[in-house]
A and B are shown apart, each in its own frame.
Chain A
Amino acid sequence: MGGPLIAPLPGTLVSILALFALAALAVPLARTPLGRPLVYGASALISATAFVFGVQGMLGTPATLVLPLGVPWMGAHFSLDPLAGFFLCVINLGGAAASLYGIGYGRHEHAPQRVLPFFPAFLGAMSLVLVAADAYSFLFGWELMSLASWALVVAHDKSADNLKAGFVYIAMASFGTLALMLAFALLAGGGDLTFATLAHAPHGPLVGALVLALALLGAGSKAGLVPLHVWLPLAHPAAPSHVSALMSGVMTKVAVYGFIRIVFDLAGPPAWWWGIPVLAIGGISAVAGVLQALLQSDMKRVLAFSTIENIGIIFIGLGLALAFRGNGLMAAGALALTAGLFHVLNHALFKNLLFFGAGAVLNATGARDLEKLGGLIHRMPTTAVVMLVGAAAISALPPLNGFVSEWLTFQAILLSPALSPWGLKLLVPLVGALLALAAALAAACFVRLYGIAFLGRPRSEEAAQAVEVDRWSRGAMVGLATLCVLAGILPGPVLDALQNAVGPLMGARLPVQTDVAWLSIIPVGESRSSYNGLLVFVFMVLSAGLMALVIHRFASRALRRAPAWDCGFPNADPITQYSASSFGQPLRRVFARTLFSAREEVTMPPPGDSAPARIRLTERDPAWALLFTPLARAVEALAERSNILPYLTIRQYLGIVFATLVALLLVLAIWR
């Protein structure tokens, strides 16, 4: 047998081209009834193919290619190294799942011509960013990705909220691209802009620091790091659910890739303090994201805020890797980077899954508001089971995949005493505490989400009448749930594959995990820690099975149906159940009162009045109040003052043209 039939890099480029062609084809196809299955089916196939190329790229040697496209004198450079290959896998896995889900979910789309053409273009643009090997192609793909996703966010432009979300999103996206552009320009310092040259271009410590700051601004605004996250909870829920899944689960990963590419690869060896800002921002994002998720009652907004938390966790891993590498601890850095990359994969898996589930619930009940759901476990059994898997995974419960990556991050944090600078010595344990807090709050958040939506009794007529979603959607969700379980109980092969990407960046690798007996993973050393997902899984299955057996065998068989104890309130309505906001109340009072100015106002009717008492909850994101509102006001005032041109009359415009012409001619006449 020779090598693979098609080399992975040209194959990926062809896939990207095919996705763009599909996007063009989707314009006429969208109006036909067969268009939806055709477009989504084709994009699922292409994404699956690109996934295979990604696996090959991750395991193989780096390849490069120059095509005579783009900027005339330099062409377009592409390359596929293991890092890009890994992200290509993640993105196309998510893309394939979302396409599969879209086959069924898209049936409920009332304006398919506004979604279908942009969906494959969005997928293609994301892959294009990953294989780009010069700044022009990178930024082109980046901007294309922003624009395509913007079009998807405003696909349902009837609602003013969506339009506002689109506006905030496009403003932030442009800002992010500007920051990245400046970062590349600083790195190049006048030389050419291919990544191969950028990586070896010499630059001083000041330029390095600026590049780090710009990468944090540019990639961080796309990924949703606090305080640049404000667009994310607006834009992600506004898109159709499978697109929300892509934006939250996959597009944020492209941003993580951009950050890794610029800071780890192109910016050269890090200074000792580079990890500090990344760690601090990551820790704050993790806690702030999950706290705000706890305050929301809109299901998709909960998920969007939880994305901010997970991006925070990923950046904690990246920050640790920078800190370790900056201080010469390559092996520890490799562990931290592996943890971050593994969490990239995991978050893509379970966030896609959860968004698909939210979409399924939205389709079945027409509601995203948790206060209108309940009892769905009886009406939508498959969705309920996969959502449970997703919720457990994102809450980092063993034996699922979320646990493995967060455990690895903690292992890296536990290595921090080896760091010599005192700033880091003190900061890293603090970040560890933040991470622990975030993990615990995430568990609370998803207990709340799952419990309110799927357990209890239905809180609305629609929830009581919900029906299970179609086969395609269920297939996509079950597939992702299976992958969550698999990555959780067999993390060894994934970790080994990741080492190809980690090795060149950190100059060190983790020990090979697949050699360890009994499928355990031992990231640092046997004496320190090891984890065996399979063992935990088997133990849980056995103990739970045993318990069930014992109960059924030995418990009384006498069955008696009796009314539930009603606490003295006869005829309890479903509305008397715990609601989403009541579940969140303790945490809201403890944490969110000062941080997010969360307030509760209770209006009681006067005695004798039979009107219901009302409670109104308000909260405010400090990022808006402290940063964006003043900024927007300043920009507006400046624009108002400086821009008089749009308000002239037609003759004044002509007059300006005329006067300019005459003035120029006069200059010419006098000059000679």
Chain B
Amino acid sequence: MSPHLVFDIAHLLAGAMVLISLMMLYQDRLTALIKVFALQAVALAASVAWQAYAHDAPHLYVTAAIALIFKAIALPLALQRMVTRLGLHRQVETAVATGPTMLAGLGLVGLSLVIMLPVTATSDPLAREDLAFALSVVLLGLLMMVTRRNAVSQIIGFMSMENGLILAATGARGMPLVVEISVAFSVLIAFIVIGVVLFHIRERFDTVDVDALDRFRGGRS
């Protein structure tokens, strides 16, 4: 296969992740948001698998499998159950309007490209593009955590950030499998802990809107 094709497919998959991150920004229903998140995980798995093939690094297939099983299937299912049990699946949430958020997101993508491309001028083009996209995904995830009020969408923002980190790590010739697995596990644990906390919050305050917590704490928002 020609190197151009390898590059183009990697570019396509990583670009798809950024696109999906932008898609997440304007989902105002949680069910839809979870589905988009699952889609991003699928894109991540595909991208990692493609890197494994392109770099001939078989251990990355494991990473891809972990991403597929945990992030694209297990976590979304669990989140979906959680949302149903919390009774949030019909809710529409808006914190910051979609338009400005999208504009900010586009700005972030531009910023990460502006930063990453000159910094990594010497490394191979595949890694360059991947790193730039990965930084965009991280920043978009963070943006999502900042703009959302619902704790569940903040979790999703957090995990989408982590997707970006994995993309960056695999782009840079992969990270050790042990690190990979432990990161996956820590995210899983974080998910469980946050889930438990969420239910407790819900029990205590009858909502998972984090602003309610601030009001209860007497914050000067």
* B-binding residues in A (CB < 8 A): 647-652, 654-655, 657-658, 661-662, 665-666, 668-669, 672
Task: Among B114, B139, B210, B213, point to the contact of A662 (Cβ < 8 A).
Answer: B139
Tell me which of B65-73, B141-149, B179-187 binds A. B141-149
Task: Among B118, B143, B145, B219, point to the contact of A647 (Cβ < 8 A).
Answer: B219
* A-binding residues in B (CB < 8 A): 95, 108, 111-112, 114-115, 118-119, 139, 142-143, 145-146, 149, 210-211, 213-214, 219-221
Decide yes or no: A650 and B213 within 8 Å by CB, A655-B146, A661-B139 being known contacts: yes
Can you report 28 A-B residue pairs in the complex whose CB atoms are below 8 A from each other? A647-B219, A648-B219, A648-B221, A649-B211, A649-B214, A649-B219, A649-B221, A650-B210, A650-B213, A650-B214, A651-B146, A651-B211, A651-B214, A652-B221, A654-B146, A655-B146, A657-B142, A658-B143, A661-B139, A661-B142, A665-B111, A665-B112, A665-B139, A668-B115, A668-B119, A669-B114, A669-B115, A672-B118
Identify whether the interface residues of B are mostly helix, strand, loop, or mixed: helix
A contact residues around B145 at 8 Å (CB): 654, 658
Task: Beyond A649-B210, A651-B146, A665-B115, list 17 extra A-B contacts (CB 8 Å).
Answer: A648-B219, A649-B211, A649-B214, A651-B149, A654-B142, A654-B146, A658-B145, A661-B142, A662-B108, A662-B111, A662-B139, A665-B111, A666-B111, A668-B119, A669-B111, A672-B118, A672-B119
> Which partner residue on chain A sits nearest B215 by CB separation?
A649
B contact residues around A647 at 8 Å (CB): 219-220
A contact residues around B146 at 8 Å (CB): 651, 654-655, 658
A contact residues around B149 at 8 Å (CB): 651
CA distance A654 to B149 in the complex (A): 12
A662 CB, min distance to chain B CBs, angstroms:
7
> Which partner residue on chain B sits nearest A647 by CB separation?
B220
CA distance A597 to B108 in the complex (A): 67
CA distance A613 to B108 in the complex (A): 79
CA distance A650 to B214 in the complex (A): 7
> Which partner residue on chain B sits nearest A646 by CB separation?
B219
> Which partner residue on chain B sits nearest A655 by CB separation?
B146
CA distance A180 to B214 in the complex (A): 42
CA distance A666 to B112 in the complex (A): 9
CA distance A668 to B114 in the complex (A): 10
B contact residues around A658 at 8 Å (CB): 142-143, 145-146
CA distance A654 to B143 in the complex (A): 9
The 8 A-B residue pairs whose C-beta atoms are closest, nearest first, are: A649-B214, A649-B221, A649-B219, A669-B114, A669-B115, A658-B146, A654-B146, A650-B210
A contact residues around B115 at 8 Å (CB): 665, 668-669
> Which partner residue on chain B sits nearest A666 by CB separation?
B111
B contact residues around A669 at 8 Å (CB): 111, 114-115
A121 CB, min distance to chain B CBs, angstroms:
34
> Which partner residue on chain A sits nearest B148 by CB separation?
A651
CA distance A652 to B219 in the complex (A): 11
B contact residues around A668 at 8 Å (CB): 115, 119
A contact residues around B221 at 8 Å (CB): 648-649, 652
A contact residues around B220 at 8 Å (CB): 647
CA distance A527 to B15 in the complex (A): 102
> Which partner residue on chain B sits nearest A644 by CB separation?
B220
B contact residues around A666 at 8 Å (CB): 111
A contact residues around B210 at 8 Å (CB): 649-651
B contact residues around A665 at 8 Å (CB): 111-112, 115, 139
CA distance A654 to B210 in the complex (A): 12
A contact residues around B139 at 8 Å (CB): 661-662, 665
